[in-house]
């Protein structure tokens, strides 16, 4: 997006629209003010004129002429002319305004009217009111309106300049807002281009001038973060799959090549074939586990949910592992507690719990103990398994739930590194969370979900 | 001789299954489409059918199976499938399958399961109250076990384990079959745990110095020798 596209930005358009609306409103207001002011000035002038005309009502001719002479002396520059005219409009006495034609319709005084006079070579506007006498003469009282007119044009001028300033400032504001949006969008476009080119660590700029865009950018950035995390996870899984499969495949190949090279007895071949079968079984197991995790994570297994009691499944798992624990000299006990009815896949839950008990057995030394407890408190239900093994360091508790992750100290024990990933998947499928903490000493793992009603 | 029909479209898999079943002592026939499989199964009297779920040419495994059952053919069918979900399994069994095996599978698992299907078919349907295998007696009503007349104390789970082995006496029972039948769950990787259970059972059953009645079949499972 270029600056030439400014007029197409929403910000710019909005600013211009507001400018137009504001301008129209301001113009209306100014017009109204102007009209009111003009009318007020005219009305005030008219009132003064009528007041001035009033004293001339009851005077006789001598008094009138005397008064007019006094007024001419007081107003030599014709600012407030008062003149007496004959029936044909000829000048009789008072201020020298020259002959004037009046159309005096109303009696005894006319409506105020506007006329012009030549004074010092200039046309000057006057406002006047006339009084008719019964003998046909009439008296004009007028006022120079030049200063009032000057005020009016001043008002018009200031309205004009004010309006112009508003338009210019408004346009500058619109351009600034539009340009800010354009720059912001350009920033976002560049960031998106970087991301599209493959740099997933790129993020959209969020310090623009448009709040809404910022919020959107924040949301998109969060989404990008999630995508990056998932991509890294997938990449990690791929790397691990490659590694975890290459190791047994290398052993398989090496074993087969060795027996081919040495070409011993039939028994040697049979042993090599058995070894190969073992390796391949292991590989297939890894694949099956990965597929099942994928299946569990996809949520497709929810279709096979049935009503079950978590306590029943847990009891079965404990019973399943009892002889094994006995053989190893580890005390495996299950605390008595309330039932925990829920909807779920019994086989998956059995497998997940088996993995947990199996792990606990693997890491608990003879003489240790493993306690299994079904949690069925207010609002939550789940299973808690604590052992007296070495425990899981706090910084690895999230990592152990990932596929193929194997803690440093467990690297030499048998296992695929998929057990806890399956546990996490199964827990997620059943709306349960995996919680790992310290049993001091040992590890305490719990699968905790919302309590299901007893219906 | 036991005759088995294989309906499977991958020639290599067919070859291997045929070889395995042949080695096990079965006469084997094969076809690669559902349509042909349906015709053969209806026309000839097979003892069991091994059926792949995914078949080319319109009629897939489950479709063929449903048609077969509608036509009144009750030959035991073992379904092979790459689909492992519990619901897939349920769908397979609901369509009329008698057992369901997920690819990849051990051939020993396949033959052991076929043996069970064939035995189930030939066994008398009446309810047994007494199981016997050599010197071993199991009373299903009183839940007691005797070896050469002497009572053997067993925990409920051990009793069920032994019952399963005795019902299939003389046949290989794989660890997964034991797990499914005795514990009623599917999928278990920790099959070594079952070995421990069997070990305990053995110690209770066999008097000191006697040859163990429950033999381990390498890479497959266990077999209870009736002659023991």
Using the beta-carbon criterion (under 8 Å), do A323 and B190 form an inter-chain contact? no
Using the beta-carbon criterion (under 8 Å), do B189 and A289 form an inter-chain contact? yes
B118 and B8 both lie in a single domain: yes
* Cα–Cα distance for residue pair A139/B70, rounded to 1 Å: 126
Q: What is the pLDDT confidence band of residue B228, given thresholds at 50, 70 and 90?
A: very low
B99 and B146 both lie in a single domain: no
- Lookup result for tokens 């080695």: B23
CATH of the domain at B117: 3.40.50.2300
Q: Does A298 reach chain B within 8 Å, measured CB to CB?
A: no
Give the model confidence (pLDDT) of B102-155 as tens digits. 888 888 889 999 988 888 776 655 567 888 888 888 988 888 898 888 898 899
How large is the ipTM? 0.82
Using the beta-carbon criterion (under 8 Å), do A284 and B104 form an inter-chain contact? yes
Phi, psi of A163 (to 5 degrees): -60, -45
Q: Which two tokens stand for residue B188?
A: 């278990």
Cβ atoms of A52 and A82 closer than 8 Å: yes
B11 and B100 both lie in a single domain: yes
Which residues of B are less than 8 Å from A351 in CB distance?
Answer: 185, 187-189
B10 and B111 both lie in a single domain: yes
In chain A, domain spans: 1-209, 236-298, 301-450
Query: Which chain A residue has the Cα nearest residue B179?
Result: A320
Which residues of B are less than 8 Å from A291 in CB distance?
Answer: 84
- Lookup result for tokens 């099959």: B191
Count Cβ atoms within 10 A of the Cβ of residue A329 and give its class: 0-12 exposed, 13-18 middle, 19 or more buried.
exposed
- The conformation of residue A333, written as its DSSP 8-state character, comes to E
Number of domains in chain B: 2
The minimal CB distance from B157 to the residues A284, A319, A348 is found for A319
**Residue B90, min C-alpha distance to chain A (Å):** 9
Cβ atoms of A244 and A417 closer than 8 Å: yes
Domain boundary among B122, B155, B178: B122
Kindly give the confidence (pLDDT) of every residue in chain A, 455 residues in length, as a single tens digit, with 9 standing for 90 and above. Answer: 455 677 777 777 877 888 888 888 888 888 898 888 888 888 888 888 888 887 777 777 788 888 888 888 888 877 888 888 877 777 888 887 765 555 554 455 667 888 777 777 778 888 888 887 777 778 888 888 888 888 888 888 888 898 888 888 888 887 887 777 778 788 888 888 888 888 878 888 877 666 777 888 888 888 888 888 888 877 877 777 777 788 888 889 998 898 888 867 888 888 888 889 888 888 888 888 888 788 787 776 677 788 999 999 999 999 999 999 999 999 999 988 888 888 888 888 999 999 999 989 988 999 999 999 998 887 888 899 998 888 788 777 777 777 666 655 555 555 667 788 889 888 988 889 998 888 788 889 999 988 765 54
Which residues of A are less than 8 Å from B219 in CB distance?
Answer: 274, 277
The minimal CB distance from B193 to the residues A291, A316, A324 is found for A324
CATH of the domain at B200: 1.10.10.10
Beginning with the edge strand found earlier in the chain, give each strand of the sheet holding B144-147 in spatial order. Answer: B130-133, B136-139, B144-147, B150-152
Which residues of B are less than 8 Å from A321 in CB distance?
Answer: 193
Cβ atoms of A6 and A150 closer than 8 Å: no
The H or E element containing residue A383 is: strand A380-387
Other residues' Cβ atoms within 10 Å of the Cβ of residue A257: 11
B56 and B118 both lie in a single domain: yes
B102 and B164 both lie in a single domain: no
Residue of B157, B160, B161, B193 best to disrupt the A interface, most CBs of A under 10 A: B193
**Residue A359, min C-alpha distance to chain B (Å):** 11
**Residue B126, min C-alpha distance to chain A (Å):** 30
Count Cβ atoms within 10 A of the Cβ of residue A212 and give its class: 0-12 exposed, 13-18 middle, 19 or more buried.
exposed
B45 and B152 both lie in a single domain: no
For residue A106, the model assigns a pLDDT of 47
For residue B5, the model assigns a pLDDT of 94
- What 3-state class would DSSP assign to A438? strand
Residues in chain A: 455
Q: Does B156 reach chain A within 8 Å, measured CB to CB?
A: no
B106 and B142 both lie in a single domain: no
Q: Does B217 reach chain A within 8 Å, measured CB to CB?
A: no
Give the domain range for residue B201: 130-224
The minimal CB distance from B84 to the residues A281, A292, A319 is found for A292
* CATH number of the A301-450 domain: 3.30.565.10
B143 and B82 both lie in a single domain: no
B59 and B135 both lie in a single domain: no
DSSP chain B: --EEEEE-S-HHHHHHHHHHHHHTT-EEEEESSHHHHHHHHHHS--SEEEEES--SSS--HHHHHHHHHHTT----EEEEES---HHHHHHHHHTT-SEEEESS--HHHHHHHHHHHHHHHHS--SPPSEEEETTEEEETTTTEEEETTEEE---HHHHHHHHHHHHTTTSEEEHHHHIIIII-----S-THHHHHHHHHHHHHHSPTTSPPSEEEETTTEEEE-TT-
B7 and B50 both lie in a single domain: yes
pTM: 0.64
B96 and B26 both lie in a single domain: yes
| Helix pair A310-328, A346-363: axis angle to 10 deg | 30
Q: Which two tokens stand for residue B44?
A: 């000839």
pLDDT exceeds 90 at position B15:
yes
Q: Does A273 reach chain B within 8 Å, measured CB to CB?
A: no
Maximum separation of any 2 CA atoms in chain A, in Å? 164
**Residue B68, min C-alpha distance to chain A (Å):** 26
């Amino acid at each position: 997006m270029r600056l030439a596209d400014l007029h197409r930005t929403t910000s710019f358009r909005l600013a211009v629209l507001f400018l137009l609306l504001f301008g129209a409103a301001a113009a209306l207001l100014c017009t109204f003010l102007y009209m009111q002011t003009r009318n007020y000035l005219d009305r005030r002038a008219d009132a003064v004129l009528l007041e001035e005309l009033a004293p001339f009502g009851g005077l006789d001719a001598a008094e009138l002429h005397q008064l007019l002479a006094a007024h001419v002396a007081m107003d030599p520059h014709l600012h407030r002319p008062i003149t007496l005219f004959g029936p044909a409009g000829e000048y009789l006495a008072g201020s020298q305004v020259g002959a004037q034609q009046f159309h005096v319709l109303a009696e005894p005084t006319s409506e105020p009217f506007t006329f012009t006079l030549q004074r010092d070579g200039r046309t000057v506007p006057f406002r006047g009111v006339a009084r008719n006498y019964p003998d046909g003469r009439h008296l004009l009282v007028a006022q120079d309106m030049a200063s009032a007119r000057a005020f009016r044009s001043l008002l018009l001028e200031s309205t004009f300049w004010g309006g112009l300033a508003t338009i210019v400032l408004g346009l500058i504001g619109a351009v600034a807002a539009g340009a800010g949006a354009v720059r912001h969008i350009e920033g976002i476009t560049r960031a998106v281009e970087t991301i599209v080119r493959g740099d997933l660590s790129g993020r959209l700029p969020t310090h623009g001038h448009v709040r809404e865009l910022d919020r959107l950018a924040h949301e998109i950035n969060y989404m990008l973060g999630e995508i990056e995390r998932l991509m890294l996870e997938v990449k990690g899984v791929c790397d691990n799959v490659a590694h975890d499969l290459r190791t047994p495949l290398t052993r398989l190949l090496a074993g087969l090549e060795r027996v081919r090279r040495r070409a011993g007895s039939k028994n040697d071949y049979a042993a090599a074939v058995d070894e190969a079968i073992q390796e391949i079984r292991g590989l297939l197991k890894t694949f099956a586990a990965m597929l099942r995790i994928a299946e569990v994570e996809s949520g497709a297994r929810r279709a096979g949910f049935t009503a079950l009691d978590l306590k029943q499944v847990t009891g079965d798992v404990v019973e399943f592992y009892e002889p094994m624990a006995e053989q190893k000299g580890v005390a495996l006990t299950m605390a008595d507690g309330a039932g925990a009815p829920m909807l779920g896949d019994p086989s998956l839950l059995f497998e997940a719990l088996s993995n947990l008990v199996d792990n606990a057995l693997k890491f608990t030394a003879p003489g240790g103990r493993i306690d299994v407890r079904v949690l069925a408190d207010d609002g939550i239900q789940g299973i808690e398994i604590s052992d007296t093994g070495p425990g899981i360091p706090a910084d690895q508790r999230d990592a152990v739930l990932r596929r193929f992750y194997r803690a440093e100290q467990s690297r030499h024990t048998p296992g695929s590194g998929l057990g806890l990933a399956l546990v996490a998947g199964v827990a997620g499928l059943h709306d349960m969370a995996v919680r790992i903490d310290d049993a001091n000493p040992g590890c305490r793992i719990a699968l905790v979900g919302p309590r299901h009603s007893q219906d | 001789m036991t005759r088995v029909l294989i309906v499977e479209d991958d020639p290599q898999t067919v070859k291997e299954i045929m070889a395995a079943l042949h080695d096990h002592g079965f006469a084997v026939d094969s076809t690669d489409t559902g349509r042909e499989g349906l015709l053969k199964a209806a026309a000839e009297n097979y003892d069991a059918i091994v059926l792949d779920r995914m078949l080319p040419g319109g009629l897939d495994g489950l479709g063929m199976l449903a048609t077969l059952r509608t036509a009144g053919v009750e030959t035991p069918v073992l379904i092979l499938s790459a689909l492992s979900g519990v619901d897939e399994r349920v769908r397979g069994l609901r369509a009329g399958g008698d057992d369901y095996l997920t690819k990849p599978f051990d051939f020993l698992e396949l033959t052991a399961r076929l043996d069970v299907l064939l035995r189930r078919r030939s066994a008398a349907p009446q309810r047994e109250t007494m199981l016997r295998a050599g010197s071993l007696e199991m009373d299903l009503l009183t839940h007691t076990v005797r070896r050469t007349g002497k009572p053997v104390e067993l925990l409920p789970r051990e009793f069920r384990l032994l019952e399963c082995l005795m019902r299939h006496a003389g046949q290989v029972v794989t660890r997964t079959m034991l797990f499914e039948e005795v514990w009623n769950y599917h999928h278990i990787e920790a099959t070594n745990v079952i070995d421990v259970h069997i070990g305990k059972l053995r110690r209770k059953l066999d008097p000191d110095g006697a040859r163990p009645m429950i033999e381990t079949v390498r890479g497959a499972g266990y077999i209870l020798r009736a002659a023991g």
